[in-house]
Structure 1
């Protein structure tokens, strides 16, 4: 793992304070990179080290994660609040336009932010995070994806915190990552950093509230389920360049998420990563960086 990134806490107009890591020259093109569950800005440490000479990299701990504020109400994690944090962070740092990169839940918010059509986002890069329309359709129509997403139902259970605390955070770490990456590749110090973050008061509830606030419908296997009305209404087609980078061995988000992905925008390309799983940014930082850097430099 690379060395520690400089960090500072940034108060936002949305009422929270974010812990944010930085890399690269202040006068370089700005790129905001947003992580997923159950991580922090540390998702990007190896990727950042591979092109921090060319970009101004801004890597927040999203609300509820890492060292950022951890509201306890589910309503504090509604999509509009999470999207507003991204733009409020740009405002706080006096950034007019930026590229947005997201992985997992960070990718979900990146998709949603871009779909608003806000001109401050110049281009969008997504790593193993499904487009909302394709994801919701697959949860209704594709039994394999529905089965792979049952963890979402589990994470919404109000009793889950007590269950995780009973098993202990080291066991939760293994359950979270062992299906997706060789645990032997994760140094003990790095593992402890995540466990320390999760152990902070209210952290577990805050992280799980991302799932509880989501309106994505996840039926049980075999259950008859109707397509939510918003799917029929559709979402806007993206006008900005989009690059989708996908670890093809993802056990939670299956390749069905790439079916029709080229139709969600006017300029969409896909970089499949063979032999790479869900946590691509730190499982395969060379491949992720090789896919990201030229796309970001094209702005």
Structure 2
């Protein structure tokens, strides 16, 4: 990523984040949030193009790569990374900004937009489900429930011991690698293993799943239905672009069902790609983002 500055920033939320920035600091800001199990490098193909028009802020979120990894699941509840991103924007003097998120970064972006509409001017979501739609699908759509059983596995406190036994490389090859284009992923393998191998990184990354309040029922379970699923849910107020890789095997296209009722100013662009759309179809994602932002 040419002309990208990686700096360490201490935030009042109690963590230090490695943050990639690019572009003119006086330009309108766009903040990019990665998901599991990645880093700011998720956006390596988008950053140079966005930096021509925006001041780009792309952190390694808490728990990932070399950013702070506070001990304890309680430090990874969604309100914590929401506070991080708002503090990061404030650090750069940006009261309002465009927010972009993929995967867990998208989940945090949805929450920030719902809770802090005064700060989020526009929202771009890439393969990350709206919280209401996702929780509803885990009760009402058995295909999505089956696709999400990995979350239950990630919440297993014994998972790290299993990873230690088989090694990070084997875990990479048997988990992450099966959900992405092998030809695109292979050249990046060493970078991922370096980030995952940082002290405490694997536990910190998994703690995002453990701290989440999302209920993932077992396939043979019929748990009590959360009351909020049958109550009105507040609509988002800002324009929203959703880019969706239709070949995603973890987050199925059912995540687009009913979305327009929750997002009145919605644009949906469907892409023939898997879950990791930003680098599986970089030109399409970048072009879509720039066209919509323009």
Superposition TM-score, scaled by structure 2 size: 0.96
1:264 corresponds to which residue?
A: 262
Question: Which 5+ residue runs of structure 2 have no aligned equivalent?
Answer: none
1:113 corresponds to which residue?
A: 112
Residue 177, structure 1, aligned to residue 176, structure 2: yes
Distance (Å, rounded) in 1 between the aligned partners of 2:276 and 2:171: 16
Per-residue CA distance 1:253-288 (angstroms, 9 max, x = gap): 0000000111112201100002x0000011111111
Distance (Å, rounded) in 2 between the aligned partners of 1:235 and 1:65: 31
Distance (Å, rounded) in 1 between the aligned partners of 2:107 and 2:205: 15
CA contact (8 A) 2:127 2:275 kept: yes
**Cα RMSD after superposing both structures:** 1.4
Question: Which 5+ residue runs of structure 1 have no aligned equivalent?
Answer: none
Residue 27, structure 1, aligned to residue 26, structure 2: yes
Identify if the C-alpha distance between structure 1 residues 171 and 26 changes in structure 2 by more than 3 Å, giving closer, same or farther.
same
CA contact (8 A) 1:44 1:282 kept: yes
3-state DSSP of counterpart to 2:172: helix
Distance (Å, rounded) in 2 between the aligned partners of 1:141 and 1:92: 42
Count the aligned residue pairs: 294
2:69 corresponds to which residue?
A: 70
3-state DSSP of counterpart to 2:133: helix
Deviation, 1:4, is 7.8
| 1:36-75 equivalence runs, <5 A | 36-75=35-74
CA contact (8 A) 1:117 1:238 kept: no
1:287 corresponds to which residue?
A: 284
Residue 240, structure 1, aligned to residue 255, structure 2: no
Deviation, 1:47, is 1.5
Runs (4+) off by over 6 Å: none
Per-residue CA distance 1:222-259 (angstroms, 9 max, x = gap): 32123212323443210100010000000000000000
Deviation, 1:221, is 1.0
